[in-house]
Structure 1
């Protein structure tokens, strides 16, 4: 399903599936559960997506396609390489934070290694995003701004890992940092956490003075 046409019914099914997968896990959710919550005939769900694995693949592509486009277009913006990297961090954190449900599902599904085939599309997407990141870093290296010894494939896990550690320990950080409403929590991610990650990535990329 590299490019399924999404109608309202398909989007309705994907939205319900994301919530159920996130709440109950992929294994704990059946096509019957999805059809019941989406109020759509079970045969129609199967007709649109075939299997639960294919539905997961469709959900991943639906939720991450705009991330790919944003990162690809960032390469061609007329910005200083470090500004591009800062913007890249913003894009990643914003997309993950808006789609915590699907990224949580992916985190567990990738760790389980049971569904590598249905996650092939996600692997291809990650390879594409890595290529875009490489071109931004290499531009900075060619201009003498970024270090030559940067391990580029470790940049994305540094961004994601910091976010996920923060999010997986949400109640701890809410209490520690007095983030007692969802708005305060999201504002902290958007401002303080994003800035911290940008500073971390800058420290990895830029020559020390």
Structure 2
């Protein structure tokens, strides 16, 4: 599937993303998307073919540049620990700036039935995991990272921590005395990010 979209396609993708995040994938019809975009239903079908294909296009639209960033990071002239820190920062920033698609992926598509239809999502996951493996294998080869690390559990550790925090926003705002949404977002960028970085490095590094 192509990753370059015209202006009208991008408009449809963004509207679909907002509706999927708000009403759920199953709760959003092509008719609703077309109405919100002020276009004919046939145009959605013309551009994307089906609702599943529209979602696949949305995943590609939201992840294509992340692919480049992660691949570039894996070959940067940094030590493996610095790469892990930067990788986590990339993940956190990406989730914060694109909460809609990540909410859809994290909560709407956990069932096996849906996932078997989501070849594109699995390809994205596999691709990003390979870049992570490259960084961790480099650290293992240099004797920095432990050999017994279960690499596929690293991404869900990062994203699971973020989403638990974010989806319990009011609880953590009260618990941590974060009086405004701005303070909450700032906490994510600083304290939560650092906490996740420390957690992942604790899993990777030999005990000192």
TM score, norm. by length of structure 2? 0.96
8 Å Cα contact 1:166-1:173 kept in structure 2? yes
- How many residue pairs get matched? 208
8 Å Cα contact 2:3-2:61 kept in structure 1? no
Q: Provide the rounded CA distance (Å) in 2 between the counterparts of 1:5 and 1:117.
A: 25
- Give the drift of 1:118: 4.0
Q: CA RMSD in A?
A: 1.2
Corresponding residue number in structure 2 for 1:163: 162
8 Å Cα contact 1:54-1:118 kept in structure 2? no
Q: Provide the rounded CA distance (Å) in 2 between the counterparts of 1:71 and 1:105.
A: 22
Q: List alignment gaps of at least 5 residues for structure 1.
A: none
Does residue 130 (structure 1) correspond to residue 129 (structure 2)? The answer is yes
- Give the drift of 1:166: 0.5
Q: List alignment gaps of at least 5 residues for structure 2.
A: none
Q: Provide the rounded CA distance (Å) in 2 between the counterparts of 1:183 and 1:170.
A: 12
Q: Provide the rounded CA distance (Å) in 2 between the counterparts of 1:109 and 1:71.
A: 25
- Give the drift of 1:117: 4.5
- Give the drift of 1:41: 1.6
1:36-87 alpha-carbon deviations (Å, 9 max, x no partner): 1111221111110111111011111111111111111101110011000000
- Give the drift of 1:114: 3.1
Q: Provide the rounded CA distance (Å) in 1 between the counterparts of 2:107 and 2:203.
A: 28
Q: Provide the rounded CA distance (Å) in 1 between the counterparts of 2:205 and 2:157.
A: 16
Q: Provide the rounded CA distance (Å) in 1 between the counterparts of 2:207 and 2:143.
A: 12
8 Å Cα contact 1:22-1:104 kept in structure 2? yes
Corresponding residue number in structure 1 for 2:56: 57
Corresponding residue number in structure 2 for 1:82: 81
Corresponding residue number in structure 2 for 1:201: 200
Runs of 4+ in 1 over 4 A off after TM superposition: none
Corresponding residue number in structure 2 for 1:173: 172
- Give the drift of 1:183: 1.7
Corresponding residue number in structure 2 for 1:146: 145
Q: Which moved more, 1:131-140 or 1:35-44?
A: 35-44
TM score, norm. by length of structure 1? 0.95
- Give the drift of 1:129: 0.7
Q: Provide the rounded CA distance (Å) in 2 between the counterparts of 1:167 and 1:103.
A: 12
- Give the drift of 1:4: 4.3
